[in-house]
Amino acid sequence: MPALNEESNILPAIRSTLKAFKDLNIKGEIIAVNDGSTDHTGALIREMMAQDPRVRMLKHEKPEGIGASFWDGVQSARGNIVTMFSGDNENIPFEALRYIDLLKHVDIVVPFVYNRGGRGRFREFLSSLFRTIINLSFRMNLNYTNGTVLYRKSILDGMHLQSKGFLFQAEILVKMIRKGYLFAEVPYSIGKRNTGTSKAISFRSFFNVVKGYFLLLLAIYGPGSENRPDGMVHDSATFIRWKGMMNGKNHS
């Protein structure tokens, strides 16, 4: 749960996630990543840590970006499934976590937003443009690339994440799907942040996305590209299904 100066939203975000754990009978933890906040975000996270041992905190001395925050959280996670809910409380954790059982059959669950009226028209336009560029550039057909994606943690182990900003989710999806991992797309809804402004729309964010996009193009299509279908982890649903299919052919 990345959080940069979210003192008005971080506690509701944590509480709604804990409630989703309870409602769905999930044994989970929250790793709140205080991404260089200068307000009371860190103190409020520590307050929740004192109340519930399932809440932990990682701290960046200065803002490193949502991608870096997510990746640090993944590397620190103790469970076998990981996802990200923003500290701005815009996500509805129950909406994404309700699909967790799909990870018995696939390795990635990609939620797409169906209540698009929850955001401003300009942000919706940017989101649509971004999705179109990603799909056309990397021969994908995803409905959404910046949601609360559920991953089997083991497929991310050993991956090199280049994007520290808002492109990080698209980078992971492009690399993992092109590698051959099975995924499912599911509908989910989002809420509205109650206070504060989104960090997604800023010159710095735009610059980092553009930079990350060209680095991803190079990684996929350049010399020594990562576009290889080998090296699938053996505990993935994709590998197990592939192995079962091959064994079935061998016995037929």
Could you tell me which residue, 68 or 196, shows the higher pLDDT? 68
Burial bucket for residue 244 (CB in 10 Å: 0-12, 13-18, 19+)? exposed
**What is the pTM (predicted TM-score) of this model?**
0.88
Burial bucket for residue 226 (CB in 10 Å: 0-12, 13-18, 19+)? middle
Mean pLDDT of 177-190: 93
Confidence of residue 199 (pLDDT cuts 50, 70, 90): low
Q: What CATH number was assigned to the domain covering residues 2-250?
A: 3.90.550.10
The pLDDT of residue 115 is 79
Mean pLDDT of 173-182: 94
The pLDDT of residue 201 is 58
The pLDDT of residue 247 is 80
Adjacent-strand bridge partners of 3: 34
**pLDDT tens figures, 93-134:** 999 999 999 999 999 999 998 876 556 677 788 888 999 999
Q: By percentage, how much of the chain surpasses pLDDT 70?
A: 89
Confidence of residue 226 (pLDDT cuts 50, 70, 90): low
**pLDDT tens figures, 134-176:** 999 999 999 999 889 999 999 998 888 988 888 999 999 999 9
The pLDDT of residue 140 is 94
Q: Are 134 and 172 in contact (CB under 8 A)?
A: no
* Residue 50 amino acid letter: A
